[in-house]
């Protein structure tokens, strides 16, 4: 018996498509880029994971805080420090390991194990995801999870056509989406025993 009992799944832009993208090669090159790693890593993430409207929203927030040369300098310092923090949290060796051992191996292993998934699943995808083909993968998982297990299992797919990879950016209310899904139809969200109700 599994030590952890998982009742239902919420998959957000699932990375089960990772092995069918160019990221195994590109990610390895970025991780081995030496001194260029910070610029290449952040550049690749910004180009693929952040949508235009997210850039605009972030830019407006930053511009709203700038009212002097000193505040402009402080914002630039904050951005530089944020980049440095990302590089400390995810140095090249950690990135390389996660890409190879988590994403590549994990997506490869999962492809033969979908029949073992017995839990109801809510799949959320961003149609504009440039990091992974999430829209296509969500539709594939809907078909695969429904077909490879008992047909009474509930699998819902919610597609956000104009959203990208950073789907949980606050542009929609996740709790409302969950409440509207058949996957959570038997959950009492008003109960104090429901962890997400406490977080609301």
Mean local confidence (pLDDT), 153-171: 91
For residue 121, what are the β-bridge partners? Answer: 9, 155
- CA-CA distance, 112 to 148, in Å (whole number)? 10
46 vs 198, more confident: 46
Per-residue pLDDT tens digits for 95-149: 899 999 999 999 988 888 888 888 899 999 999 999 999 999 999 999 998 875 5
Q: How confident is the model at residue 192 (pLDDT cuts 50, 70, 90)?
A: low
Q: What is the pTM of this model?
A: 0.79
Q: What is the pLDDT of residue 200?
A: 41
Q: First and final CA of the chain: distance in angstroms?
A: 32
């Amino acid at each position: 018996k599994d030590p952890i009992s998982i009742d239902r799944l919420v998959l957000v832009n699932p990375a089960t498509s990772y092995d069918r993208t160019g990221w195994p090669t590109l990610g390895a090159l970025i991780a081995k880029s030496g001194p260029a790693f910070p610029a290449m890593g952040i550049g690749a993430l910004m180009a693929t994971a952040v949508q235009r409207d997210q850039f605009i929203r972030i830019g407006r927030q930053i511009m709203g805080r700038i009212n002097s040369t000193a505040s402009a300098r402080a914002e630039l310092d904050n951005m530089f420090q944020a980049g440095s923090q990302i590089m400390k949290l995810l140095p090249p060796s950690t990135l390389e390991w996660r890409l190879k051992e988590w994403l590549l191996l994990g997506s490869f292993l999962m492809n033969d194990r979908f029949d073992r998934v017995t839990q109801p699943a809510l799949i959320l995808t961003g149609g504009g995801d440039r990091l992974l083909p999430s829209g296509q993968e969500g539709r594939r998982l809907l078909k695969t999870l429904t077909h490879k297990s008992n047909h009474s299992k509930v699998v819902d797919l919610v597609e956000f056509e104009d959203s990208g990879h950073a789907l949980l950016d606050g542009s929609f209310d996740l709790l409302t989406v969950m409440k509207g899904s058949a996957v959570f139809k038997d959950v009492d969200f008003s109960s104090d025993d429901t962890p997400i109700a406490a977080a609301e």
